[in-house]
Amino acid sequence: MLARVSKSLHPATLPQTAAKSLISQAGAVGGEPGNVVRGVPSRRGLSTSSSARPKAIITSPGQKRSVSALAQFGQKHVTKGLGRLTEAVFTKGEGSWVELDDGRRMLDFTTGIGVTNLGHCHPKVSKAAAEQCMNLVHGQCSIAFNEPYLRLVEKLLPLMPDPSLDSFFLWNSGSEAVEGAIKMARWYTGRQNIITMQGGYHGRTFGAMAVTRSKTIYSEGCHPLMPGVFPVAFPFWHQHGLPPSTSPEELSKLSLYQLDLVLTQQTNPKDVAAILIEPIIGEGGYVPAPPEYLKGLREVCDKHGILLIIDEVQSGFLRSGKFFAVEYSGVRPDIMVIAKGLANGFPLSGIVSRKEITDKLSPGSMGGTYAGNAVACAAGVAVADAMKEENIQDNVAARSKELFASLAELQKDSEVSSKVLDVRGKGLMVAVEFASPTGHPNDPFLDPSAPANLAKRVAKRCQEKGLFILTTSVYEVIRFIPPLNISKEDLAKGCQIFNEAVKEVVREG
């Protein structure tokens, strides 16, 4: 069990000057037993040196591990509406590693679904949040400005993919930001309809799930949904019944043709407020949108006075190798949605747009009790600083090259190559798609010889070997979203586990 915090040593019980001194003396994550780390007595931290780290406890394939009493409590009292990758309980995290309540240490290639881009408990981010807690926790945005909010906007402005994106509203979650972006688009244009992508994911709140078309589970039992939403084909070979080798140019041309049909058969362009798209589709299978397609969307929007909303919730903040994935196309968004990696684990999202759009909004039409929380914004400032100071973009480029090289070796392996349909992605947002023996009867890519549920079984085998990794989409896809500052050694270890798991599951059939 984690050491209990002595009430007399907790910063909240100390005079402010003493508490600040306590925080300033806090070292990086970890430390000797009894030392104060970020104001809290802690047992020994998770060292990042391979020689000092305790070895992960590995479960033999097929061996069942008992569920802890704490996990059983969670199973009883936490809603079943939450699906979980594992019944494990996380107790601590550092960098690319997490520790469980049974003592196991696991490599984490999930990063909280693309949130902890700088790894768990990044010292600079944790220190900034702790210090902010002693100054101002909640500076409600509808009452006054709070300083961290403004400092974060100042940091973000030069990072935007286009200088026209100069007006910010900070919120809590990606879903809220998506709904706010739709609200802004409708208000600005005076139009109602939204075009969204087949396979796109934008959240699970009521408005966000109406524009989400990746899985039916997200809106099951909730119809009728928000009206005025028209899905169109995304340039993904699956959606057009074409082989993975189909060129991006051809996929873009076909998808733009489908968009044209929607605009002539289903909704008049003069009724469309916005086109909403992820530049790398997430829950739909980690598929980058070809630059040709995004440029085509920009042309359609300019022609008809439609706003282009780019959802960078998962792909933003160097996840794709660039600060924002839309930069690969050179396309200018009218509105951009950001979240996840923005604050490295603290709940924070944002809507960025042209000022002329937000200037049409009535004061009070946007807001939220916790929107732009001061502690989360302070963490966001630290994230922006750390990404620059630690050359995170260079690390993403190097580790991405190594990851794709490892997956290329898997594709060449005669034992499994026929079961690997596709390897795709950008930066450290990468997917592997496997063959499947089941699915839609007209799917031209069914492979009766492929093992059933291959992606799910590989992910489970990876867990047994000490690696958390996620599946995605309605296809047999596994996604790699490791920390952006992951070391060469930790990435190599994760790739080794993954490749071994794939070979073992394919052999088992």
Tokens of 349: 């999202």
Euclidean distance between CA atoms 160 and 406, whole angstroms:
32
CA end-to-end span of the chain: 40
Euclidean distance between CA atoms 88 and 158, whole angstroms:
41
- The predicted structure's pLDDT at residue 329: 98
Phi, psi of 131 (to 5 degrees): -65, -40
Q: List, for the chain, all residue ranges whose pLDDT scores fall below the cut of 50.
A: 1-62
Strands 272-277 and 287-288, how do they pair? unpaired
User: Which residue, chain included where needed, has tokens 């802690």?
Assistant: 42
Euclidean distance between CA atoms 103 and 287, whole angstroms:
36
- The predicted structure's pLDDT at residue 65: 57
User: Which residue, chain included where needed, has tokens 């047992």?
Assistant: 43
Strands 280-281 and 287-288, how do they pair? antiparallel
Tokens of 265: 């058969």
Q: How many CB atoms are located within 10 Å of the residue 425 CB? A: 26
Euclidean distance between CA atoms 291 and 285, whole angstroms:
18
The answer to whether 93 touches 42, Cβ cutoff 8 Å, is no
Strands 477-480 and 470-472, how do they pair? antiparallel
**224 preceded by a cis bond (ω within 30 of 0):** yes
- The predicted structure's pLDDT at residue 446: 82
Domains of the chain, first to last: 1-41 (no CATH), 46-114+391-509 (3.90.1150.10), 157-366 (3.40.640.10)
Measured in whole angstroms, the distance separating CA 373 from the mean position of its chain's CA atoms is: 20
Distances in Å between the Cα of 314 and the Cα atoms of 286, 377, 501 are 10, 18, 26
- The predicted structure's pLDDT at residue 66: 66
pLDDT in tens, 253-299: 999 999 999 999 999 999 999 999 999 999 999 999 999 999 999 99
Strands 307-311 and 272-277, how do they pair? parallel
In three-state secondary structure terms, 406 is helix
Q: For 141-158, give the DSSP string.
A: TTT---HHHHHHHHHHGG
Tokens of 97: 């590693």
pLDDT in tens, 132-174: 999 999 999 999 999 999 999 999 999 999 999 999 999 999 9
Nearest one of 106, 128, 108, 105 to 116, comparing CA atoms: 108
